[in-house]
Amino acid sequence: MCDRDGTFFRNFSRRNFLKSTVAGAAATIALPPALAALLSPSRAHAAGTTIKATHGSGFCNMGMFLAKERELTKADGVDLEFVVTPSNTEITTMFGAGLVDMSMIPYSNFMTLYDAGAPVKIIAGGGVEGCIIVAKEGIKSAADLKGKTFGTFQADTLEVLPYDYLKKAGLSFNDVQIKYLDTSPELAQAFMAGAIDAICHIEPYASQCVIGREGATVLSDGTDVYGKGYSDCVLAVRTPLLESNPAAVKAVIKALFVAQSQAEADKTAALKDTVGKYYKTTMEAAIDASSKQPIVVDQRNQTQFIIDRGQSMKDLGYVKKLPDKGAFNWSLLEAVIAENKPLYDGLKLKSA
């Protein structure tokens, strides 16, 4: 639809969103042979295995970005290849359709695929915290959001948090005007341009929004709703790859642990390798945001938290049933930990 301010928003329904993701989870997509070959999942070649993956755009993806940029999987014979998607919705759809092997994905998007019967499992974590509700000048509380426009992404953790935030305050999505957008830069720009009154965004874009719009304030960083260390993104893999090539999957998990260790030791170097190419924001905003959404690969202690968020996803109409522990497979992560104890013991953030 086109709002009176002339800004265009994708205001499609949850039903349409579910049609696209469920179709991706359940159907075989007809593609031209050349494109099908390009997008076919993991394949063996002379140097080893290539794993195709999709990813998001927040700091919870930094481990994946560092693994790619620093070639951290190659020592174990694995090439990590990213498939770029035009919007957040396609990240979920392509993974559900089997066009890629794995995805660094918000746990909420994962739930829509798991609920639809897609053969997918959560095998590791990406990042924690960093989901931020930012509002324009004059909005200081949940009550002040009544009647205001609120931007987010569909079926995302960035939709679950504001739902839970408003519910805690005795409000609901019926009290605000929800606007769904496509990409992280688009959401940030819409807020900074004054087209939306409030948003829920991921780091580093949330900090960019606070810096980029005079008078903007943070209403919630999620910890007031969920407590410290809440999960955001997880690494999910399709079970055919999990079963046919566990060594390749372990190589990626190990690379994420190495990336976490490197980022904890030298955050400035990690930002230099990722800001610009992966994060469309300023270094100033990235530095400000860098401590708000750290890499945490071992998220076993977030299992119940993620399961519990299933109720909100059900209330929102995205899933029919609550997820269970069958959505998780921590066995390869535990094997990587056992095989790399000095690396794991040196990490600052972990479950154990």
Confidence (pLDDT) at 43:
60
Condensed to tens digits (0 to 9), the pLDDT of residues 112-142 reads: 999 999 999 999 999 999 999 999 999 999 9
Q: Is the pLDDT of residue 12 over 80?
A: no
Question: What is the overall mean pLDDT for the chain?
Answer: 89
pTM score, whole prediction = 0.88
Tell me whether the CATH fold assigned to 49-128+231-346 matches the one assigned to 131-226.
Answer: yes
Domain boundaries in the chain?
A: 49-128+231-346, 131-226
| The predicted structure's pLDDT at residue 38 | 45
pLDDT digits (tens, 9 = 90+) for 156-182: 999 999 999 999 999 999 999 999 999
Of 234, 58, 83, the closest CA to residue 158 belongs to 58
What is 49-128+231-346's CATH number, 3.40.640.10, 3.40.190.10, 3.40.50.11740, 3.90.1150.10? 3.40.190.10
How would you classify the pairing of strands 102-106 and 149-152? unpaired
Please check the confidence at residue 24 and state whether its pLDDT lies above 90.
no
Q: How confident is the model at residue 33 (pLDDT cuts 50, 70, 90)?
A: very low
- pLDDT tens string 59-75: 999 999 999 999 999 99
Asked whether residue 320 carries a pLDDT value surpassing 70, the answer given is: yes
Reported confidence tier of residue 35, pLDDT bands at 50, 70, 90: very low
Residue 7, pLDDT above cutoff 80: no
What would the pLDDT profile of 238-272 be if each residue is shown by its tens digit?
999 999 999 999 999 999 999 999 999 999 999 99
- Rounded to 10 degrees, the C-alpha dihedral 167/170/174/176 comes to -90
Task: Give the per-residue pLDDT at 290.
Answer: 83
Band (pLDDT 50/70/90 cuts) for residue 288 is confident
Could you say which architecture CATH assigns to the domain 131-226? 3-Layer(aba) Sandwich (3.40)
- The two most distant CA atoms of the chain are separated, in Å, by 60
Identify how many contiguous H helices and E strands the chain contains and give both numbers. Answer: 16, 11
Torsion from C-alpha of 104, 27, 322, 129, nearest 10 degrees: 20
